Amino acid sequence: MKKAEKEPTIKQLTERLNQLRITNGKNPLKAWKESKQKCIDAIENEMAEAKTPEPEPKAKIPEPNLFPNFIIPDPVRDNDDSIPEKDTFTISELAEQLGINPKVARAKLRRTTNVPPKVKKGWVFANDAKDALIKILS
């Protein structure tokens, strides 16, 4: 007659579970407070994790251009005397003509990508750009 195998106790199952958790790089449990069957299931899950190989690192994917419509502005010419003041205007002057707040006009131009280049430091543009700016601000 064969002796019936003794079922392992929860303590023994917890010890086995903790061994598997340590090999999988997890912290061991202090105690098991659920049913024996759940402990056995947890051991099977840990064994399955131990058998699955770690995924290979993927090749680096180049970062997408987050601002595809962003145009690097032309360098602003400080105190450019080649363009006389009579051939330039400021956004404040144009906003006054259009009857809008200059602060709002500048904000619209900051958000727009196809703004004509400035000719001097600040919001100063050539008279040639007036029509394009009126279109943007209207």
Per-residue pLDDT of 79-128, as tens digits, reads 556 677 788 889 999 999 999 999 999 999 988 888 888 887 788 888 88
Are 135 and 129 in contact by the 8 Å Cβ rule? The answer is no
Give me the pLDDT at residue 80, please. Answer: 56
**What pLDDT shows up at residue 106?**
92
pLDDT in tens, 8-43: 888 888 888 888 888 888 888 888 888 888 888 888
Name every residue whose Cβ is closer than 8 Å to that of residue 86 and which is 6 or more positions away in sequence: none
Q: Is-contact 16 44, C-beta < 8 A?
A: no
Residue 102 backbone dihedrals phi, psi, to 5 degrees: -60, -35
Q: What does the pLDDT read at residue 24? A: 84
Distance of alpha carbon 40 from alpha carbon 82, whole angstroms: 85
Q: What was the pLDDT predicted at 16? A: 87
